[in-house]
Chains A and B, each alone.
Chain A
Amino acid sequence: MKWKPKDLLDLDNLTTEEIEHILQTAKPMREILSRPIKKLPTLRGKSVVLLFYESSTRTRTSFESAAKILGADTTNFTVAQSSITKGESLLDTAKTIQAMNVDLVVVRHSSSGAADFLADTLKASVINGGDGQHAHPTQALLDLFTIQERIGDIKGKKVVIVGDIIHSRVARSNAIGLQKMGADVTLVGPPTLLPTEMSYLGIKLSHDLDKELPGADVVMALRLQLERQQSGLFPSIREYSKLYGLSVDRIKKTGKQTIVMHPGPMNRGVEIASDLADSVQSVIEKQVTNGVAIRMALIYLLIGGGTGNVVD
């Protein structure tokens, strides 16, 4: 298919075919990653700016690796060393980047809508690397890719996402992507972190993890921001972990060889026990590897012309 979108802001404005096309494109990328010489000339001369307003290790590194493997040049625009600390607005920063004639901007920002805002302003393509509580589409795509890789067709599979749903851009983008791919998704968390308004997704919401585990093909734990305890959203880490923490014992309740996912970074012993995180059921490291492949696919589709064969 011919790739049309200029930007990747979230999964809700992608068609199922477009999502499938991204996943399909990521397959040869994944293969390139396992080669001894990981370098292609495909995007030579293209420039990618990584505009990260929030700290991030894996996402930024992942994008940077992806762009470099494809031969593009990358520039890091990190908050501490830039004029952002001198009070420059996002709009002016965007215009400055625009003036440098870059091809692609990857943005991470603590405000929901920051990526949409940039896409509205810039001629360059924009990939949302996570905006506030709104969306994290590349994480969702790499999760879809990982699920497909491990258990095949996503359609009809039961996926449980557990944790701080309301504050999670990962949960939102995953719920949308999984639904589009035909999965049966359930969101689980305490009422303070999974309030009723999440019903907008039109999927099952539950406060009882143990009740939802039977039959689950995939269980995804979200990172719990420990500071949220101080604002009263849950009484203690101990109680949270007791009610919603994943462990090898608990995951047995699925009655299946369930795969366990986590977007990282993990709080071991809080939302996920080490025994499970390091078990054969865990695909957490695979998620990281696949993240590079998915981002290669996206960068290629957005600024590589979307035609021709990437793999020689």
Chain B
Amino acid sequence: MLWIKNVTVIDPGQGVSGVNDVLVQKDKIVEVGPSFKAKEVLVKLGVTDINEVNQIDGDGKYLFPGLIDVHVHLREPGQEDKEDIASGSRAAIRGGFTSIMAMANTFPIVDQRAVVEFIKLQARRAGMARVYPISAVTKGFKGQELVEMMDIKDGGAVGFSDDGKGIQNAEIMRLALEYVKLTGCPIISHCEDEALASKGVMRRGRTSARLGLPGIPASSESVMVARDILLAAETGGKLHIAHVSTKESVEMIRWAKGKGIDLSAEVNPHHLIFTDEDITLTDTSYKVNPPLPSREDQEALLEGIIDGTIDMLATDHAPHTWEEKARPFQEAPFGINGLETSLAAVWQKLVQSGKLTPEKLVECWSLNPAQRFGIEGGTLKPGSLADMVLFDPLYKEEISTEAMESKSGNTPFLKKELQGFPVITWVEGRMLMKNRKII
């Protein structure tokens, strides 16, 4: 039993935003309300001795519903040198995420029920963040035949995505959006036209020209966003656009929502914080796909979040080993490690600077993901699972691989100090992280 006192609760799910007390019994939230008295607490929790209640002073701190990350790569099965389900779900807890959705580009690819069930089993063994598997759309990511969507959904998948690779054949995408209606789950589209992206390694523009690096034009994403929106409109299938990074994509998503198309979209923190101009030839931690955007794109992305065009924040946590990233820029793999730095980075760069409210952050990183993907969490309403994050806006930390739970350290924030970190994370009422360390 838990009594968190005087904490600033941010819970857009029940319109709460202010200093409150929070009561938890076993795995559920009991009540959120202004300063309870000890006697009331005893009654509400149905106990006789106040010493049975763990009391935490939340003064000066925030309490968020546990964050939900709809886009992570846990690398297991197959690439456990980069990450595994245990290390990735520990990293999630340390970063304030109580639920994560794991992408399907593992080896083997998640295109059968057995693999989905294996991931769920490994996550249960780890006992950290709840892990929701995402299945491939097409067998072997080949873009040719659909996976057994119904069987896989029954095995526990919450969405379908060939993330890491765009589905190039429009007819296959159309069929996927039709067939997925059986499941009620969304297709999560990695929008990338391979012919346009070609051998590019960063956003095409003046910086790519200066560095002599092959560029990926913004159109390589935007044309696929346009295509998939039209296909979603035609089929009525549920669509979620992963890692939106261009202003044209934002404009089309805005248009589509105006038309009532069943569509949601996410943006990655690194696209809101860095631009192509930050890239140098010798720091491959900035190499990511979709590539870091132009400044105008970045402004459009932020505007999209503020006006609700973009529904979610998602890390696209993509761990890679040190050796893989210790290569010339052109040869290093794409991906940024995000679970343990993203909340702090977004807090410091966007919330502290007044560009984003704490309410919006929680809406985009907890409430909306839960609602869109039909998973538990997202709010601290009485009766909900006690997935919670106690967040200290003053806590400073220098990012280091020693402290990180992830097996990889491929983040542009390495050796840099960030401010604003989760200090306690609870999943279903169990305290799994305290003072920045997994318990």
What residues of chain A have their CB less than 8 Å away from a CB belonging to chain B? Answer: 89-91, 109, 111-114, 116-117, 120, 131-135, 166, 169, 172, 195, 197-201
Contact = CB atoms under 8 A, between A and B. Distances in A.
A200 B213 contact: no
A195 B212 CA distance: 13
B327 A197 contact: no
B323 A89 contact: yes
B212 A134 contact: yes
A277 to B, nearest CB: 27
B282 A197 contact: no
Contacts of A197: 204-206, 208-209, 215
Contacts of B281: 112-113, 116-117, 134
Nearest to A118: B328
B211 A113 contact: yes
A161 to B, nearest CB: 15
B45 to A, nearest CB: 58
B210 A131 contact: no
Contact of B330 (A89, A113, A195): A113
B207 interface: yes
A31 to B, nearest CB: 34
19 contacts: A89-B323, A89-B327, A90-B331, A111-B328, A111-B329, A112-B212, A113-B282, A114-B328, A116-B281, A116-B282, A117-B281, A131-B328, A132-B213, A133-B212, A134-B281, A166-B209, A172-B210, A197-B209, A199-B206
B326 A91 contact: yes
Contacts of B329: 111-113, 117
B207 A200 contact: yes
A89 B325 CA distance: 11
A117 B327 contact: yes
A295 B208 CA distance: 28
Given A89-B326, A111-B331, A131-B328, 4 more contacts: A90-B328, A117-B328, A133-B213, A195-B209
B214 interface: yes
Contacts of A116: 281-282
A113 B213 contact: yes
A120 B323 CA distance: 15
Contact of A131 (B205, B208, B212, B326): B212
Nearest to B206: A200
Nearest to B210: A200
Contacts of A117: 281-282, 327-329
Interface in B190-228: 204-215
Interface in B327-360: 327-331
Interface residues of B, number: 21
A111 B213 CA distance: 8
Interface string B123-163: 00000000000000000000000000000000000000000
A112 B206 contact: no
A132 B212 contact: yes
A175 to B, nearest CB: 11
A91 B327 contact: yes
A263 to B, nearest CB: 15
B212 A172 contact: yes
Interface of B: 204-215, 281-282, 323, 326-331
B377 to A, nearest CB: 42
Contacts of A198: 209
A132 B211 CA distance: 10
Contacts of A199: 206
Contacts of B323: 89, 91
A91 B325 CA distance: 11
B213 to A, nearest CB: 5
Q: For B207, B209, B328, B329, which residue has the most chain A Cβ atoms within 10 angstroms?
A: B328
A271 B436 CA distance: 63
Contacts of B207: 200
A198 B206 CA distance: 6
Q: For A112, A114, A200, A201, which residue has the most chain B Cβ atoms within 10 angstroms?
A: A112
Contacts of A132: 212-213, 330
* 3 residue pairs, one from A and one from B, having the closest CB atoms: A134-B212, A113-B281, A133-B212
A196 to B, nearest CB: 9
Nearest to A113: B281
A135 B212 CA distance: 8
Contacts of A109: 328
Contacts of A131: 212, 328
B73 to A, nearest CB: 23
Given A91-B326, A134-B281, A112 B204 contact: no
A133 B208 CA distance: 10
Q: For A113, A134, A166, which residue has the most chain B Cβ atoms within 10 angstroms?
A: A113
Contacts of A166: 209
B208 A113 contact: no
Given A113-B281, A113-B282, A200 B327 contact: no
Contacts of B282: 113, 116-117, 120
Contacts of B205: 197
A112 B327 contact: no
Contact of A134 (B213, B215, B326): B213
Contacts of B210: 172, 200-201
Nearest to B204: A197
A90 B326 CA distance: 9
Q: For B207, B208, B209, B214, which residue has the most chain A Cβ atoms within 10 angstroms?
A: B209
Contacts of B326: 89, 91
B323 to A, nearest CB: 7
A206 B325 CA distance: 38
A111 B206 contact: no
Contact of A111 (B208, B209, B215, B330): B330
B211 A112 contact: yes
Contacts of B214: 133
Nearest to A231: B198
A116 to B, nearest CB: 4
A172 B212 CA distance: 8
Contacts of B206: 197, 199-200
Contacts of A200: 206-207, 209-210
Contacts of A169: 212
A195 B210 CA distance: 12
A134 B282 CA distance: 13
